Amino acid sequence: MVAAAPLSYSSYRTYLECPLRWKFLYIDRLPETPRGYFTFGRVVHSVLEELLRPLVVPSARRIGEAESQRTLDEWHPTPRTGGEGSLVPLEELLAAYDHAWSGEGYTSPEEEQRYRTLGRDLLRRYHRQLQAERPHPVAVEEHLETRWDGIPVHGYIDRIDRTPLGGLEVVDYKTSRELSRDDARESDQLSLYQVLVERNYAEAVEGLTLYHLRSLTPLRTPPRGPNALGALHDRLGTVVDGIRAEAYEPTPGRQCARCDFQSRCPEFRPVPAAERERLAALVDRFESLRSQERQLEHELKRTAEELHRAAEELGVHRVPGSHKIAIRRREEAWQYSLEPVRPLLEESGLAPRVASGRAEDVRRLVRDPAVNPEIRRKVAETGARRVKWFWEIEGDEAAE
Ligand code: SF4
């Protein structure tokens, strides 16, 4: 059994996409081929950290759910040297960008140049915007971790800002081409960061933002409510359970196109040449049996229907064959569509009794003499009886 290491957002997302790929990355620690757009994102993030760090005015943090807060000095024991609140000059910023630049993973010098120019342009525009309007970060590139109701989680948060109302806003930079407000609304990453910040900081999270760097657009959403966080906790729990149980099944999908491990994956591994003929014969046999099975199912259904029609006409339920007797059986089920009477049930406080939607619960209510007869009648009228006939061979299993 694998010990549960703290789960990051990318680890969680990788496992959801494909547990086998997760294993290759997080257990076997196989390297991936560098990709230019990841390198680009990393470089821009590191330069933005240099740009924003001088603006940071830290905020008090928690040391535990029920414990008192730590003071700022405890959290930031090293006195910071001057420059607090001042913006790094543009030339210095671009020099830092050149210094941090890496050509790793680009498919051609042209592609690298395109990204490099994009980064310079983006930093210039962002710097200009910061001159006009500065954020109030309390942390940049902050590593936070917590145990979220039994699940250890952690993450590096690009920026945490203080809001005008004294709360906190989580900001995550994105260098991707496209980004929509729905991406921000549905981002599990932002939800997880909300939890990390709430459990590590004294102030409440008031906003979650994906910051689209290419267009300098903040896509802001309110913090998640208990339902959304509960659903994320369930999904994280499923991932943690899978990892603990070492469940590493391949899950092929669109992610395979950018997976470096196809040669190790059973979904893509070719059958060894020496075994191809033997396995091909098995596949042919399987395919042929499948086709016969479908044909037999079809014939079985048609014969049962014909038998049913004849038995109905003659009013008989037991039909002897040459060897055995076919017996006609009847199965009855009630189904209720409660929507039309839902307001009535809620008004009379009876809704919880049929909340399961199970027919037996509804029928119990219909038969209950303590319930108003008018309500019982209206509920009963939403019901429909479904009758299903099927055939059994005496002494055999059921055949429809
Ligand atoms: S190739 Fe596809 S199925 Fe196989 S490990 Fe990679 S992502 Fe998973």
CB-based contact 158:45 (threshold 8 Å): yes
CB of 261 sitting under 6 A from ligand 1 = yes
User: What is the Å distance from ligand 1's center to 10 Cα?
Assistant: 16
**Domain range 9-254, CATH class:** alpha beta
CB of 20 sitting under 6 A from ligand 1 = yes
User: What is the Å distance from ligand 1's center to 172 Cα?
Assistant: 28
Q: What is the helix (H) or strand (E) element at residue 236, kind and residue range?
A: helix 226-244
Q: Summarize pLDDT for 9-23 with one digit per residue, the tens.
A: 999 999 999 999 999
Arithmetic mean of pLDDT, 183-209: 96
CB of 268 sitting under 6 A from ligand 1 = yes
Domain ranges of the chain: 9-254
- At residue 64, the pLDDT reads 57
Distance CA 14, CA 32 (A): 13
Q: Summarize pLDDT for 325-351 with one digit per residue, the tens.
A: 999 998 888 889 999 999 999 999 999
- At residue 396, the pLDDT reads 78
- At residue 393, the pLDDT reads 93
Q: How confident is the model at residue 62 (pLDDT cuts 50, 70, 90)?
A: confident
Q: Which residue in 32, 36, 33 sits closest to 44, CA to CA?
A: 36
Q: Which atom of ligand 1 is nearest to the CA of 256?
A: 2
Residue 260: helix, strand or coil by DSSP? coil
CB of 259 sitting under 6 A from ligand 1 = yes
Pocket test for ligand 1, best of 33, 251, 260, 263 (most atoms within 8 A of CB): 251
CB of 267 sitting under 6 A from ligand 1 = yes
- At residue 309, the pLDDT reads 94
Q: Which atom of ligand 1 is nearest to the CA of 260?
A: 6
Pocket test for ligand 1, best of 256, 264, 268 (most atoms within 8 A of CB): 256
| Ligand 1, atom 3: closest residue by C-alpha | 252
Q: How confident is the model at residue 60 (pLDDT cuts 50, 70, 90)?
A: confident
With a cut of 60, say whether residue 67 has pLDDT above it.
Answer: no
Q: What percent of the chain has pLDDT over 90?
A: 81
CB-based contact 389:311 (threshold 8 Å): no
Distance CA 157, CA 173 (A): 9
With a cut of 60, say whether residue 68 has pLDDT above it.
Answer: no
Q: Summarize pLDDT for 154-175 with one digit per residue, the tens.
A: 999 999 999 999 999 999 999 9
| Ligand 1, atom 7: closest residue by C-alpha | 256
SS3 per-residue string spanning 83-150 = CCCCCCCHHHHHHHHHHHCCCCCCCCHHHHHHHHHHHHHHHHHHHHHHHHCCCCEEEEEEEEEEEECC
Arithmetic mean of pLDDT, 278-305: 97
| Ligand 1, atom 4: closest residue by C-alpha | 265
Q: Summarize pLDDT for 202-248 with one digit per residue, the tens.
A: 999 999 999 999 999 999 999 999 999 999 999 999 999 999 999 99
C-alpha distance across the termini of the chain, in Å: 45
Q: How confident is the model at residue 82 (pLDDT cuts 50, 70, 90)?
A: very low
Q: Which atom of ligand 1 is nearest to the CA of 252?
A: 3
- At residue 144, the pLDDT reads 96
